[in-house]
A and B are shown apart, each in its own frame.
Chain A
Amino acid sequence: MNEVDKKILTLLQDDFPLVSRPFLETSEKLGIPEDEIIDRTRVMMESGVIRRFSASIGHRKLGITANPLLTFKVPAERVEEVGEKLSAFDEVTHCYERSTVPGKWEYNVFAMVHGYDRKAVEKTVEKIAREVGVEDFELLYSTKEFKKTYKRYA
């Protein structure tokens, strides 16, 4: 990523222009041709520096209010398999293996699950737990959102 790429990201990571030709607007601001901005953006998408070109939804506003963190205690040799199985569920938006703190926190595979209400989510969780075949898990509902922001990376 060079300085020009950084400038593009700086302009387009939050306030993406909602206009017919957004890259043309950026091109005028940066003094770089529109085609070059499009090409560079494509390259950054291919390399994975840009993860998505999309919207983030205020899901709570849409009534998706049951958003628990589901944590499983998975033996090391099954982590890969369980992670992949969990990821296949549409209701799971994030899935990670995380470090543990022996004696205090031994759940190593985390999945974020979303649903319209707790009843629906509990059904989903039952289905998920059965599918992955891990009995030791915890379901941690969020009871309040204090902060949700996005850090600027460029």
Chain B
Amino acid sequence: MELDDIDKKILVELQGDLPVVKRPFKEIADSVAISEDEFFTRVKRLQKEDIIRKFGLRIDSEKVGFKSTLIAMKVVPERLEETADRLSGYDFVTHNYARDHEYNLWFTVIERDESALRKAIERIEREVEYDDMLNLPVRRKFKIDVRFDIK
């Protein structure tokens, strides 16, 4: 899908926080000089194309008690796809990527509290075949600000 300048401006605006006011979208529409209706039409198209993947209030999982970790797994290359699919099947696995490294599968596990997280990891240990697994929980957060430079 070709993006025009207005689409690009909308994407830049929507990556920053919207104002919590009665008509939050009107402010964005005004700032890119289009009507609210046109804004909705464009945003729906961007959603359909999966360029906007999710829109809404993002909760800080830790503030509501959730615990998470990053796991690096070493899997026989021939079984990478199968193992990855198996892991993706778990609700508690939210992000899952193959990476160009000896530890070739990297995924995040998130659960509602420490004990549930431990159980999730034990379940992976029991049900998934792998050579090695590293559990790498966060010790300190420096930055989460997912904004992309729209070209």
Interface residues of A (CB under 8 A from B): 1, 9, 12-16, 18-24, 34, 38, 41-42, 44-45, 47-59, 61-64, 69, 79, 83-84, 86-87, 90-101, 104-105, 108, 110, 114, 116, 138, 140-151, 153-154
Contact = CB atoms under 8 A, between A and B. Distances in A.
Contacts of B143: 83, 86-87, 92-95
Contact of A16 (B15, B55, B97): B55
A154 B145 CA distance: 22
Contacts of A140: 99-101, 106
B97 A151 contact: no
Q: How large is the interface on B (under 10, 10 to 19, 20 to 34, 35 or more residues)?
A: 35 or more
Given A45-B20, A99-B136, 19 more contacts: A13-B57, A53-B18, A55-B11, A56-B53, A57-B15, A58-B53, A92-B143, A93-B144, A96-B139, A97-B139, A101-B134, A116-B151, A141-B100, A143-B99, A144-B84, A144-B98, A145-B97, A146-B85, A147-B96
Interface in B22-55: 22-26, 36, 40, 43-44, 49-55
B54 A147 contact: no
B59 A50 contact: yes
A15 B47 CA distance: 12
B21 interface: yes
